[in-house]
Amino acid sequence: MLDFLQMIVSGIAVGSSYALMGLAMVIIYKTSEVVNFAQGEMALLSSFLTYMVLEYHGFSIYVAIPCALLFAILLGCFLEFAVLRRAKEPNVLGLIIITIGLEMILMGFVSWKFGADHKTMPFPISPYDSVAIGEVFISSLEILNLIVAVAIMLFFFIFFRYSKLGLAMKATQQNLVAARLMGIRTNRILMITWGVSSLVGCMAGLLLSPVIMHPYMMWDPMLKGFAAAVLGGMTSLPGAVFGAYILGIIENLFGGYVSIEFKSIVAFVIIVLVLCFKPSGLFARHYVKKV
């Protein structure tokens, strides 16, 4: 029973990393209906910038992290303005292919600039410090991951429901042309969305960096975050978070009781099953666009 509880808690902790990436992808999808497969590498570049500021220039972590978050926002805005917006008569599939191309470019740049060696990000909270809840253990960094994921979900849930900018983002997704006719500056909305999404992804990268840091470190969290968003619903922020926790728990239980070697396939099996039986996800409502 103790092993079962430990696997549940570890699954929730792992799911927090997936949740942040899932939230970042949902934020873009809620505005543009584009799945951004460059999300992980945008976070990767921001994380390595933090490492460079810390190791090469000697700044403190309290200076490096705000710089990384600001850089992430600017990077997201720049990619939308310089690349996505320049696509002529784009459709959703074409934009997704562009994000895959951006992913390869960013990953190649980080590999060229920093090499493939594993690095360690200095961080105020050690990934090896643990907190005991009865006889179950969870690391301090995993608790921080959990708090950040839930806080971001609550903030953006309220933001999309009650703020003017959030409503403008939802209107842009529903009907781009109608949103423009209503006076919404859709290009600016899309650029802001990419910046905000990049910021959330950067947080996921920074929280993962003290544990593992190399040019391919965001590949797995990005795919698992995408699986979590599909499971919960690509238009539902709470769905992405709870989908991530469900995925993390199922993955851990599968690894503990079935096969540790095939644990990674669980996410892709879930994607296939959800798309076959409930394409809108567990927590999102299916809607039809009106023209």
Domain residue limits, the chain: 2-277
Q: Are 24 and 39 in contact (CB under 8 A)?
A: yes
Neighbours of 125 (CB within 10 A): 14
CATH architecture, domain 2-277: Orthogonal Bundle (1.10)
Residue 118 amino acid letter: H
Q: Who's near 139: CB < 8 A, 6+ residues apart?
A: 13, 127, 128, 129, 130, 131
Each residue of 8-56: pLDDT tens digit? Answer: 888 888 888 888 898 899 888 888 788 899 999 999 999 999 988 888 8
Each residue of 193-214: pLDDT tens digit? Answer: 999 999 999 999 988 888 888 8
This prediction has a pTM of 0.88
